[in-house]
Structures are given as C-alpha cells and as structure tokens.
C-alpha cells in the first residue's frame, strides 16, 4: 500500500534587478554630505537591498549619538526610477541638540573622595556628553572595586548663554554606593589528596578615600600553610595601572611515595615580598610586571643523619605574565578560552643567589554542543554537553652553571593534571620513590562532559604528560597517559567532583589506578 503524497510547487517571478542610484542627506549640519557618504559608502550601481538602507540608517544614528546628539532621528525615503531600474535614497536627519557638560555633582560617597569619583567619570565642563562616554564613566567607577552601585544621570539646563545655538548644557549627577569598608570572607575545600582545607580573608576597602585595599589572607591544608598581607591601588584614569604589594610567609609540604610515612617528605619555607603592576587591555587581557624577593629554606621533614638535605637560598626574579580569559565562568566554564604565559628571570644584580630563567604556559578551551538547558535543583541555564581541552608546558634552566633548586622545579600528576597518577608522582623519583621534580613539564587534558540525570553529569577523560629531570630531556613524544570516567554533582553551592583514572601501561610496582574526589572541575 503506497502512502499518499503532496507536491508543492513555488513559482517565482524575479522581476527586474534594481540598483542603488543617488544617495543624499538632508538636515545635516554637524557632518557634511560628502563626509557622510565617505563614512557609509554604498557602492555605485550595487544591487538595491532594504537591509543596506536600514544598516546605514542605524550607523548614521550611532555616529551622531557618539558625538553627543543623543536625541537624533534619522528617516529615509526611496524613489524608484522604473525606466532606469535604480532607486534613489534620501536620508533626512533631525539632529536636535548636542549635549555639552556644564558641571558634575557627586552624591553618596562617604569614605571615597569626591575627587576620585570625578576623575573616574573623566569629563570636564565644555566636553560633549554621549551615551558611550557615560557608559565608560560607569565602567571606570565599577573598575575601582570601591562601589556596589553606580548611576549617572544627565539633566538639561535652561540657561544656554554659554553654549552654541545647536547645543544644550547638561549637569551630570553621579550617585554611588560604596562597598562595606571592612570585609571578612572565608571558605573551605576538600579533596582526596590534600584533605580538608580553609581560606580566610580580612580586608579594608576604600582606605584613605582612594579605593585602596589592605588585607590579610591565610590558607591552610595538608600541603600548604600560608599567611599573606596585601595592599592594592586600583586602576584609575589618572594612573591606568593596578599596583599590588604583597608580603608572605608560606610553607609547602611535599609528600613522599608513602602517604603514611614522613620519612620521604621535604618542606620548603618561603618568606618574602612582591611588588607588581597590572595593566588591563580591554576586558579580557591582563599584563603584569613585577619583582619578587624571597628567602627559601628547603629541607627534609625528618633529617637524614648520614646525608642531610638542607638548602637556604635567596631567590629574587623579575616576573611578568600575560593572561587572556574569555571563559563564561572561571570555576565551571562551558564556553570560552583561557591563555596565560608567565616568565621569571633570576638575576644576581637584583639580589638573587639563584640565577635562572623559567616559563610556564597554559591554554584551555571549552566547546559547548547543543542548546543550554535548565539544571534541576540549581536552577541555572547552561550547556552541559561540553568538550574541554587543556595544555600546559613548563621550562626552566639554571644560568652560569647553576642547578634549578627543588622548590623551583615542576611537578605533575594528580587530580588536576594527569589523573591515574598520585599527587606529584609523574616524572622522576628519588631512590625512595619520592618525587624530585624536573626542569621541564608537559601536560595535555581532554574531557567530555555530558548530562546524566537531573543534576548529575558524567565525564570521560584522557590525560597525558610527563616531567623531565633536565631541560635537554624534554620531548613531546615521551609521555605517560591515563584514561577514566568521572561524576559531577551540581549543587546550588558547588560542583562536587569524583574521578577514577587508570594508567595506560602501568609500570611494575605502580598502582594501576587512582580515585580522586574534590570540589570544582579538574580544569
């Protein structure tokens, strides 16, 4: 039995092809007709399209609004010449009044100075007031980090004696709401490698009325004990660099092959300070340049009575970095890219007893598939089918015949690098099976994240990488790899992560697998 079918035929009558004829402008005084035609060039004899006319209308309005004509109205008329098959288009521009700044009033500031707000608005009497400039002024104020709310309104004034006939004087009123000056923030975390940890940050904002921040932060877990004090001067229009000064005391505990024994553990204590300058280019790019001076003390947790390991050294490198971040969520990205390049150069002329160069680069990409959906329980909309990829490379070399000390070497292996391997156990080990790090490192990650049921997501991953004892040993083809699966539990507060990794071709005496649990994505 054949099923009935229906055939649909569309008959198209093309008609004649019309092209653009004369393009003219009326009512314009701020810009000449020649200037407008050059800015919004429509090719002579080009095929006529309504879309091109509408786009030109919008671009003319945008041009006027950027020059302070916020109430401009642009209309167009079309005249069809049938015999010549052309369409003449005329744009009629009602410019209205150009807004010019008369003065600025500031309201709501208590700790921050009025001068700070004025300099961030960055407009002076007599200057043109456009929507773009007001939007930039709001961004400048928010970028100081001193305000939770910013509103800038423009009020026209009746007295026009000080301006030209086509202009209207306006008074700006900037209303701000400052952040609470004293802030206490704290948080906790857990993973199967470091156990339970916590962070406490106590800070004062808007110090001395200049949006400066001074604070103390402490962090504690099984592998890291740290106290850090900091002072920062935010990015200002008069000085477009963020200044940061940090003083720190830090203890890093490197666990040996046997997590139940302290015999193979070594400790690195760092005490020092670091001034730096940051420059933000547009929204997503940050350049940093600084200097770090620290006294390092690396020693065995349990001293060896025969061959004691105890090294004290002053490390003082110049530091620089570049970061570009377009991720939609730094902690749980489903779209975007992250790139960073960090350099260190230890010079004896700047006080460093260790002369060395060091580079560490990272790249992560997150590719979503399908349409965003609402996550049950969490009630957020996001892509849950995501391909996440990452690459990390580290290179270091001593200068003048010096060796890179253990505290400056690279380590890899664990829940955030190559799963299937224990924490820091990828790469060279000492005679007791403890990691000693290397002068080069390479890590690749690929992970497919997909929805399972309600607020549960699944993960399938492949990781590969290696740590090379000497820089000359580095080769991108000498890698160890692992694969595995994972579970993500999306709660309203955090993402819980469970991963099970298995080694490709485990070596004799190695554990073939490793289980990891933590908070947040692996990368």
Q: Are 204 and 182 in contact (CB under 8 A)?
A: yes
How far apart, in whole angstroms, are the C-alpha atoms of residue 21 and residue 43?
10
pLDDT of residue 278: 95
Q: Profile the chain (523 residues) by mean pLDDT over runs of 10 residues.
A: 82 90 93 91 86 94 94 95 93 96 94 90 94 92 90 93 92 94 91 90 84 94 95 79 95 76 80 96 93 94 79 96 96 96 96 97 97 94 97 97 93 95 91 88 98 97 98 95 98 95 93 94 96
**Intervals of CATH 3.10.20.310 along the chain:** 19-94, 98-178
How far apart, in whole angstroms, are the C-alpha atoms of residue 148 and residue 159?
34
Contacts of 72 (CB under 8 A, 6+ apart): 61, 64, 65, 93, 94, 95, 96
From 3.30.465.10, 3.30.70.1560, 3.30.200.20, 3.10.20.310, which CATH number describes the 19-94 domain?
Answer: 3.10.20.310
Q: pTM to 2 decimals?
A: 0.81
> Could you name the CATH architecture of 257-275+315-519?
Beta Barrel (2.40)
How far apart, in whole angstroms, are the C-alpha atoms of residue 51 and residue 38?
19
pLDDT of residue 1: 60
The top-level CATH class assigned to 98-178 is alpha beta
Token digits for 415?
């829940």
Nearest to 340 by CA among 356, 355, 319, 317: 319
CA 380 to chain centre: 21
**Intervals of CATH 2.40.160.50 along the chain:** 257-275+315-519
pLDDT of residue 234: 83
- How far, CA to CA in Å, does 460 sit from each of 93, 110, 330, 364, 376? 59, 53, 21, 17, 22
pLDDT of residue 236: 73
Q: Are 242 and 233 in contact (CB under 8 A)?
A: yes
How far apart, in whole angstroms, are the C-alpha atoms of residue 60 and residue 68?
13
DSSP string, 129-183: --HHHHHHHHHHHHHTT-EEEEEEEEEE-S--TTS-TTEEEEEEEEEEEEPPSEE
How far apart, in whole angstroms, are the C-alpha atoms of residue 228 and residue 274?
11
How far apart, in whole angstroms, are the C-alpha atoms of residue 354 and residue 82?
83
């Amino acid at each position: 039995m054949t099923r009935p079918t229906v055939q649909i035929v569309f008959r198209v009558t093309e008609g004649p092809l019309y092209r653009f004829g004369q393009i003219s402008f009326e009512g314009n005084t701020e810009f000449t007709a020649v200037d407008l035609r050059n800015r919004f060039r429509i090719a002579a004899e080009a095929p006529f399209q309504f879309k091109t006319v509408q786009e030109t209308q919008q671009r003319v309005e945008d041009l006027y609004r950027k020059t302070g004509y916020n109430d401009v109205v642009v209309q167009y008329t079309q005249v069809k010449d049938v015999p010549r098959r052309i369409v003449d288009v005329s744009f009629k521009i009602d410019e209205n009044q150009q807004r010019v700044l008369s003065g600025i009033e500031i309201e709501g500031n208590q700790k921050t100075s009025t001068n700070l707000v004025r300099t961030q608005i960055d407009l002076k009497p007599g200057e043109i007031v456009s929507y773009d400039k007001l939007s930039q002024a709001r961004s400048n104020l928010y970028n100081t980090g001193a305000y939770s709310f910013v509103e800038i309104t423009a009020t026209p004034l009746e007295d026009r004696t000080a301006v030209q006939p086509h202009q209207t004087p306006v008074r700006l009123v900037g209303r701000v709401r400052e952040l609470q000056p004293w802030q206490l923030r704290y948080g906790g975390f857990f993973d199967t490698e470091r156990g339970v940890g916590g962070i406490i940050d106590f800070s004062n904002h808007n110090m001395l009325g200049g949006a400066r921040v001074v604070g103390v932060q402490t962090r504690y877990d099984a592998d890291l004990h740290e106290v850090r004090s900091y002072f920062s001067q935010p990015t200002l229009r008069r000085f477009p660099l963020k200044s940061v000064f940090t003083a720190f005391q830090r203890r890093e505990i490197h666990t040996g092959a046997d997590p139940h024994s302290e015999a193979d553990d070594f400790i690195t204590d760092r005490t020092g300070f670091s001034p730096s300058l940051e420059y933000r280019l547009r929204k997503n790019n940050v350049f940093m340049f600084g200097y770090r001076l620290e006294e390092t003390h690396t020693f065995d947790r349990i001293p060896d009575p025969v061959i004691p390991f105890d090294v004290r050294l002053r490390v003082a490198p110049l530091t620089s970095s570049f970061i570009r971040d377009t991720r939609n969520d730094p902690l749980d990205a489903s779209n975007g890219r992250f790139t960073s390049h960090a350099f260190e150069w230890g010079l004896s002329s700047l006080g460093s007893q260790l002369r060395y160069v060091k580079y560490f680069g990272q790249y992560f990409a997150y590719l979503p598939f399908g349409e965003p959906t609402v996550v049950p329980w969490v009630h957020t909309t996001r892509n849950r089918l995501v391909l996440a990829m990452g690459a990390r490379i580290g290179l270091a070399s001593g200068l003048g015949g010096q060796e890179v000390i253990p505290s400056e070497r690279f380590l890899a292996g664990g829940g955030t690098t190559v799963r299937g391997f224990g924490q820091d156990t990828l790469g060279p080990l000492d005679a007791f099976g403890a990691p000693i790090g290397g002068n080069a490192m390479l890590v690749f990650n690929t992970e497919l994240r997909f929805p399972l049921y309600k607020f549960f997501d699944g993960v399938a991953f492949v990781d590969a990488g290696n740590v090379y004892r000497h820089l000359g040993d580095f080769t991108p083809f000498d890698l160890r790899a692992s694969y595995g699966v994972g579970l993500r539990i999306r709660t309203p507060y955090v993402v819980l992560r469970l991963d099970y990794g298995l080694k490709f071709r485990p070596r004799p005496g190695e554990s073939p697998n490793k289980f990891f649990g933590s908070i947040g994505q692996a990368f």
